[in-house]
Structure 1
Amino acid sequence: MSTEQKAGQVLMPFFTGTDFAAQAAAIERLHLGGSIVMGDNVPLSSDGTVDTAAMAAGIGLLQKAARADGRTWPAVIGVDQEGGVVARLRAPLTEWPAPMSYGAAGSVALATDGGKALASELAGLGFTADFAPATDVTAGPQDPTIGARALSGDPDAASRLGVGFAQGMLAAGLLPSVKHFPGHGSVSVDSHENLPVQKATVAELRAKDWKPFQAAIDAGLPMVMTGHISVPALEPGVPASLSKPSYDALRGMGFKGVAVTDALNMGAVQKKFPGGSAAPKALAAGADLLLMPGDVAGAHAAVVEAVKSGAVPASRLDEAAQRVVTMILWRARTPAPQGAAPGSGSALSQRVSAAAVTVLAGPCHGPIVPGSVRVAGGSEQDRARFAKAARAAGIAIGTGPLVTLIGFEGPPAKGDVVVALDAPWPLAGSAAPAKVALYGRSQEAFNALAAVLAGKAPATGKLPAAVGPHAPGSGC
């Protein structure tokens, strides 16, 4: 391969809108390793749901462009589909609850099944990679970015569940990517905006934040995403994604797979390294796959120039390109996944939420509410879904105790029953005789909630992280 071809192979850009033909032309022209599909790239039907036929056709165009470039291996076509808040493709695909549901359910088998089902629907559309799961260990309310995207606040649980979920994804034919090394769950700044600083020592990181990454490496998982987090114990002032000591630390843990950066167009990087300038720096530091550079043509030119000038050793580009190609060839060696029909995971999604529902205050047996309730809080969709689930469970809407829903990042609330639909932290300051953590706002999550409120199902979930005075493991 020429330097230009190898430089393309380590780039995974984004594009705007649904013009897959233009992105396909860029893949062929710049020899790109693949493409990420973001929310605005998803073609929609007239009713606002995903046009799955158009989505599959668009991905087909991108793969055709990779083959037209003379490659004998597929492109990496990835997406951010974690479940909960982070899901680029909505209905008719299955809507999954927040990943913290698996921590509350405490079942590795359920996490593996969930990972496989989520990935099977994506594989059916032609995706080859999913930037999930987030194996960050959440520190609780002072963690503004990860929250319920984390599986748990316990590093050992996050390790077991993260490996299980990722192995399920692999079984469905999708490449998982554990993220965000060196751990985004215990920093208090959002790297989409500015550069967070992780002040822990290396020994402290090994004992907590790095545990799930070590487990992933020991399990032979193929890809680790590095976050835009400064670790003074490794290299002060430089995001881990662009820091050689950070990549050295990751490799020192035994990792031999593909190190992919978090999106290079995020605030933590763009403010200091605008345009394409971050790409050669990340490559030189040890990244193998450069995700979402602000300007892909500029990044490609910058990498080629850096190699030709000697600023980036040619051997470093060779190593990165070889790792990316090896990973995709390795994935392509497994039998082609059949893929699952969109929406086929609905029953499993409800089973996950049913296993996760956590009652922090209120009765553990029998009905929590009478035959009729009022509902407030959340979004209009949340309230409509609650009402639908309640009626199906035999609970009327209009009079009776007040059920208050706390939506994503909502403040503490008051009511007879307060339900947190995302991270459970707002329950700590809420005033209510009954408090419930649901970790999801899908229709299936509300169905699970209504069954518990009506006394038709037990609440078996346990808190995966502390909520105010409630210790991890609290619940019925």
Structure 2
Amino acid sequence: MRVFTRRAHASHAVGRRAGAVALLLSTLLAASACAPDSSSAGGSGASVPSAHTPSAEPAPAPTASPRSRVQEIVTQMDLAQQASAVVMGNTPGADPVAMRAMMSRGFGGFILMGSNVPATPGDLHAMSEALTIDPALPPLIATDEEGGDVVRLPWDDQPGADVLKAQPAGATRAAFARRGMLLAQSGVTVNFGVVADVASSPDSFIYDRSFGTDPAAAAERVDAAVRGEASWVSTTLKHFPGHGAAEGDSHHMIPSTGMDLETWRSEVAPPFLAGIRAGAPIVMMGHLAYTAVDAQPASLSPRWHQILRDDLGFRGVIVTDDLDMLVDSGDPAYADEVSDAVQAVVAGSDLVLALDGAGPDTAQKIADGLVAAVRSGALPADRLREAASRVVALRLDIADRRH
């Protein structure tokens, strides 16, 4: 994601929320079912039900299962709507009319950047409401609020990883709980804000934004950050499989490393695994090449998506980092953001992020490209449907949380 740095101006619902998302996704994609258990207890000390039978009340209408809700919505979408549902875009400025016009095209989400953020939390909340065409299926309203050097909301005065890495993990949980509350009060529902990268050294590009160089200490703080935000927003772990080992700035190049998979498992993976186990519903793929595993950037690599799903057990939404970063890398193989988007979804991403220099036309061009790829056979229709289903499941979870 394009990052512009600036300093900011001066609950225990994780199990419930993570469980809701896991239920939506596991029932849809793993198709497992279980029947509720019932039990009774008796004995001399047990309370005895009253013999009086209360007047009968109409039985509530049966609630659709999470799987059926998702299936019903996605089945009713045509191909173009499914393609739009897996695109998160942006249009510059704080004009809610222009932003709402963009979202009326059915995109799955909107990412808020600095130019989109008005002066007060109330104004931002009103803007976020304007972006919601259907309250029953709200779009993902996202930003990257890490704290420290990477902030979008001027009223976020909580520390980031640059400070928290030197403090007990409890401080991380408290800071991210406060940050999550500020985001929720501002109408933001998704935070691309938990950096799970293990920095290779204090000189690393990602060091100030990470929780440090020790995998175990970083994992403990990533766990705390996820649990802190969980009551308020959908948390995102980034930049999988790890920016710390792949040196360089991925905004201008494709950082690479020859690290093998076993070393990665022990030195880089622990914070991501900790965040997944803590219930993070989103993981962002980095434009990073681990050449001993796959020469392609992880964001376009089926192998890395498989590792995230099968080895780390992640069942949530996989989002790309900003696709324009691939274009800016200078590698001619990645010069077309539409082709990059198609490759990312084919590889296993569920949501593609079109950010830098983007607008409604950029997001629409990507959605149209996904449609064309399905029609040509380059993108399997089932893969697009699966991606749309995961995004819809997350959007439904957000809608349920609001109520």
Q: TM-score range by the shorter chain?
A: 0.7 to 0.9
Deviation at 1:59, TM superposition (A): 1.1
How far apart, CA to CA, are the structure 2 residues paired with 1:268 and 1:233? Answer: 23
How far apart, CA to CA, are the structure 2 residues paired with 1:300 and 1:23? Answer: 17
For the 8 Å contact 1:83–1:97, the answer to whether it is kept is yes
Q: Structure 1 residues 84 and 241, CA, compared in 2 at 3 Å: closer, same or farther?
A: same
How many residues in Structure 1 have an aligned counterpart in Structure 2?
A: 318
For the 8 Å contact 1:170–1:176, the answer to whether it is kept is yes
Q: In structure 2, give the amino acid aligned to 1:197.
A: S
Q: Secondary structure at the match of 1:86?
A: coil
1:196 aligned to 245, 248, 255, which one? 255
Q: In structure 1, give the amino acid aligned to 2:124.
A: M
2:172 aligned to 104, 111, 116, which one? 111
CA deviation digits over 1:161-219, x for unaligned, max 9? 11111111111x20010110010122221000001002100001000111111112222
How far apart, CA to CA, are the structure 2 residues paired with 1:96 and 1:281? Answer: 37
Deviation at 1:259, TM superposition (A): 0.6
Deviation at 1:268, TM superposition (A): 6.0
The gaps in structure 1 that reach 5 residues or longer are: 44-49, 337-476
What are the residue-to-residue correspondences of 1:108-257 with 2, within 5 Å? 108-144=169-205, 146-171=206-231, 173-236=232-295, 238-252=296-310, 253-257=312-316
* 1:321 correspondence with 2:388: yes
Q: In structure 1, give the amino acid aligned to 2:137.
A: W
How far apart, CA to CA, are the structure 2 residues paired with 1:135 and 1:321? Answer: 25
How far apart, CA to CA, are the structure 2 residues paired with 1:218 and 1:304? Answer: 34
Q: Secondary structure at the match of 1:329?
A: helix
Q: In structure 2, give the amino acid aligned to 1:158.
A: A
Q: Secondary structure at the match of 2:324?
A: coil
* 1:3 correspondence with 2:79: yes
CA deviation digits over 1:388-440, x for unaligned, max 9? xxxxxxxxxxxxxxxxxxxxxxxxxxxxxxxxxxxxxxxxxxxxxxxxxxxxx
In structure 2, the residue matched to 1:72 is 136
How far apart, CA to CA, are the structure 1 residues paired with 2:98 and 2:398? Answer: 26
Deviation at 1:143, TM superposition (A): 1.3
Deviation at 1:221, TM superposition (A): 1.8
Q: Structure 1 residues 244 and 267, CA, compared in 2 at 3 Å: closer, same or farther?
A: closer
List structure 1 runs of 4+ shifted beyond 4 angstroms.
Answer: 267-270
How far apart, CA to CA, are the structure 1 residues paired with 2:292 and 2:328? Answer: 19
Q: In structure 1, give the amino acid aligned to 2:305.
A: Y
For the 8 Å contact 2:124–2:186, the answer to whether it is kept is yes
For the 8 Å contact 2:326–2:335, the answer to whether it is kept is no
For the 8 Å contact 1:195–1:269, the answer to whether it is kept is no
Deviation at 1:220, TM superposition (A): 2.8
Deviation at 1:267, TM superposition (A): 4.6
Deviation at 1:20, TM superposition (A): 2.5
Deviation at 1:24, TM superposition (A): 1.4
How far apart, CA to CA, are the structure 2 residues paired with 1:204 and 1:16? Answer: 41
CA deviation digits over 1:235-269, x for unaligned, max 9? 11x21111111101111221111111111111566
Which range moved further: 94-103 or 242-251? 94-103
Q: Structure 1 residues 275 and 218, CA, compared in 2 at 3 Å: closer, same or farther?
A: closer
Q: Structure 1 residues 267 and 283, CA, compared in 2 at 3 Å: closer, same or farther?
A: closer
In structure 2, the residue matched to 1:59 is 128
Larger relative contact order, structure 1 or 2 (CA cutoff 8 Å, min sep 6): 2
For the 8 Å contact 2:287–2:299, the answer to whether it is kept is yes
For the 8 Å contact 2:323–2:337, the answer to whether it is kept is no
Deviation at 1:40, TM superposition (A): 1.4
What are the residue-to-residue correspondences of 1:22-37 with 2, within 5 Å? 22-29=98-105, 31-37=106-112
In structure 1, the residue matched to 2:17 is none
For the 8 Å contact 1:231–1:240, the answer to whether it is kept is yes
Q: In structure 2, give the amino acid aligned to 1:38.
A: M
Q: Structure 1 residues 82 and 164, CA, compared in 2 at 3 Å: closer, same or farther?
A: same
In structure 2, the residue matched to 1:14 is 90
Q: In structure 2, give the amino acid aligned to 1:42.
A: V
TM-score using structure 1 length: 0.64
What are the residue-to-residue correspondences of 1:91-110 with 2, within 5 Å? 93-105=155-167, 107-110=168-171
CA deviation digits over 1:328-380, x for unaligned, max 9? 222333365xxxxxxxxxxxxxxxxxxxxxxxxxxxxxxxxxxxxxxxxxxxx
What are the residue-to-residue correspondences of 1:81-92 with 2, within 5 Å? 81-90=145-154
Deviation at 1:302, TM superposition (A): 0.2
Q: In structure 2, give the amino acid aligned to 1:194.
A: M
Q: Structure 1 residues 232 and 311, CA, compared in 2 at 3 Å: closer, same or farther?
A: same
Q: Secondary structure at the match of 1:259?
A: strand
For the 8 Å contact 2:252–2:328, the answer to whether it is kept is no
How far apart, CA to CA, are the structure 2 residues paired with 1:334 and 1:53? Answer: 20
Q: Secondary structure at the match of 1:81?
A: coil
Q: Structure 1 residues 20 and 265, CA, compared in 2 at 3 Å: closer, same or farther?
A: farther
How far apart, CA to CA, are the structure 2 residues paired with 1:54 and 1:86? Answer: 21
